[in-house]
Amino acid sequence: MQKRLLGRSGLEVSAIGLGCMGLNHSYGLPTEKSAAIGLIRTAVERGVTFFDTAEVYGPYINEEVVGEALAPVRERVVIASKFGFRIGDPARGVDSRPEHIRTVVEASLKRLRTDRIDLLYQHRVDPAVPIEDVAGAVKDLIGAGKVRHFGLSEAGAQTIRRAHAVQPVTALQSEYSLWWREPETSVLPMLEELGIGFVPFSPLGRGFLTGAIDAQTPFVAGDFRNTVPRFSVENRKINAGLVDALGRIAAGKGITRAQIALAWLLAQKPWMAPIPGTAQLHHLEENLGAVSITLTADDLSAIESALRQNKIVGERYPAYMQQRIDR
């Protein structure tokens, strides 16, 4: 497995990490605990060193699973977690008060079976708490040895600059993929300037870019995609154009759509490490295979042409979540 440094922080991670959220949160039925632990440990065997979780996933259960899975190999891996939602429930709003951050970290450390969190993100910006206070609280936790690095998730450029002035930000985690490229103009140039790494989540478009989802695909009750405008039946019909185009490019190289999508991300910046999620071993193997794929200039040109010809429609979040995005 290739390794990458997240910006100028010195934090080294596998080029592709594992987003653990979907093992028991947001995407339908949860994975049975022993199977989830087995998948995470297999990822370690395959060279993955970067694992992403959060208190809100479950809530709480995901950190427990990740902690149990990684306890035997703790010194070999980087664990990222997040704070910022009230009582672990995003529907009840955000909460990044310093006292709340400290409480969350103590609880997360116990669930993760560790004495430090390698990368601690603010999950969403809290408009009621100055980002300087948030950064200061994390700085204190770093000083106490309970956190190693500070991260932000879905934060805007000005917020990142203000936080970075108090406590250097190691990484920004935000959605970025072939069907959501807004970070290219909003934050990536600034991240490069400041030496901050980038961790794309949903790099496979919540499964859509793999070609496994079409307009007729049903989602079980509780699946987050039931609420996402981009996944309405009509929008899926339109958005299938890009997936079809990626399929033709992938077939020409003897690889899969998922591998094209991940290889494209890896080709964007050397300080970028995507975290695709999966509950299936064969999908894990497929995703990790993208690390060894080199896209030529002609490949990248063909992908850009497909993107120009197939505009994606539909918001990426339901309305109540759109309102929380930091600009």
What tokens does 12 get? Answer: 């080294």
State the catalytic residue, choosing from 57, 60, 121, 176. 57
Q: Compute CA 42 distance to the chain's CA centroid, rounded to the nearest angstrom.
A: 19
Instruction: Identify the residue whose tokens are 């601690």.
Output: 120
Residues 145 and 179: their CA atoms lie apart, in Å, by 38
- 57 annotated active-site: yes
DSSP string, 8-41: TS--EEESS-EE-GGGTSSSSSPPPHHHHHHHHH
What tokens does 4 get? Answer: 């990458």
Amino acid at 302: A
Contact 261, 295 (CB under 8 A): no
Contact 276, 262 (CB under 8 A): yes
What tokens does 127 get? Answer: 């408009």
12-14 vs 3-5, strand pairing mode: antiparallel
For the annotated catalytic residues, the residue numbers are 57
